[in-house]
Amino acid sequence: MTVCLSPGGATIHAANQFSDQLMVATVNGIVVIKESSNGSWRQIASHLQGHHVCALLQDPDSGRFLAGTHDGGIALSDDGENWHFSNSGLDIENVYSLARSQQDGDTLLYAGTEPAALFCSSDLGESWTRVAGLDGASNTDTWTFPAPPFIGHVKSIAIDPQNAERIYLCVEQGGLYSTEDGGSTWTEHTAGMPNDAHRAIIHPQRPERIYLANGFFFNRSDDGGQTWFEMADQISRIGYADQLVYHPNKPDSMVVAGGYATPDAWATGSAKSAIYRTSDGGENWTQASTGLSDEIMPSFEAGSIEACGSASRIFLGNTHGEVWLSCDEGESWQ
């Protein structure tokens, strides 16, 4: 498999051996970089130039790639080289997020859009159906975004690995919503939570535990999202949590990255980003510093982890067009 790195696509990759290719989403298409035998990386291809690619995903069974774009809908490729757009049934072509679920042998693909809506495909992206239940969720009329065109979007999608009917959506800005029935009905999680939800992950062994990165705090719930508590005291350098990944074979090992403050403060020239890691499910956090400068100016907009047994490689992409790599669960970076 090829590892995908994008703001709104697949972030967790489990493999029998590490891939030597990384597919990166950019504001000007897809860049493919390849690892050489000496450990260095070089660009070998580019695709979909002229399109702002927000999300990438590869279906591990068929090998098919999907790319969600901000201006053209969803592109498909069966070999990673030849791409075509496939928007049948997709009546919104600003696609921010992609996710995949599998249960009882059936594969479902999901696409989140701007304006905020959810679409589902049961034929590997050939056609799409709008998940109408989300349109009837509470407070959809309040969904917005601070920057023009002031329209909220589905920033990320999280699906319970044990129950494909259980889905969490992060609406920016609108909050965290979940369904227990595959999208027919939705619950808004408001209990003291801000409406700027960025990324949720569901603990694969304890599905009632949810981690949420958002624009004001970093939170954890141990009851499926009914109540939350903050973990900000241990990650004090992050005020705008965004990227969040966990090791699929050791899910208590996680990395979170984000800026010191909200994007309106970045106009001063620095996001003052930071990276934190935990090995005990978030009970204790340490800031990563090895290989990093004292002040990280760009914000981290994409994160992905590839796991092979107990080993892993974590990739983080930032707004300066850099990709950072950690081979020791976030302790050091290069």
Q: What pLDDT shows up at residue 301?
A: 93
| pLDDT band, very low/low/confident/very high, at 5 (cuts 50, 70, 90) | very high
| pLDDT band, very low/low/confident/very high, at 105 (cuts 50, 70, 90) | confident
Determine the 3-state secondary structure of 138 from DSSP.
coil
Q: Once rounded to an integer, what is the mean pLDDT over residues 180-200? A: 90
| pLDDT band, very low/low/confident/very high, at 270 (cuts 50, 70, 90) | confident
- Dihedral pair phi/psi, residue 146, rounded to 5°: -65, -30
**What is the Rg, in whole angstroms, of the alpha carbon atoms belonging to the chain?**
18
Q: Does domain 1-130 have CATH number 2.60.320.10?
A: no
| pLDDT band, very low/low/confident/very high, at 83 (cuts 50, 70, 90) | very high
Q: What pLDDT shows up at residue 104?
A: 84
d(CA 262, CA 289): 22
Q: What pLDDT shows up at residue 150?
A: 93
Domain-wise residue ranges, the chain: 1-130
Taking the model in full, what pTM does it have?
Answer: 0.96
Cis preceding-peptide flag for 194 (omega within 30 of 0): no
CA 305 remoteness from chain centre: 11
Nearest to 312 by CA among 40, 12, 59, 24: 12
Q: Once rounded to an integer, what is the mean pLDDT over residues 138-143? A: 94
Q: Once rounded to an integer, what is the mean pLDDT over residues 11-15? A: 94
Average pLDDT, the chain: 94
Percent of the chain with pLDDT over 70: 99
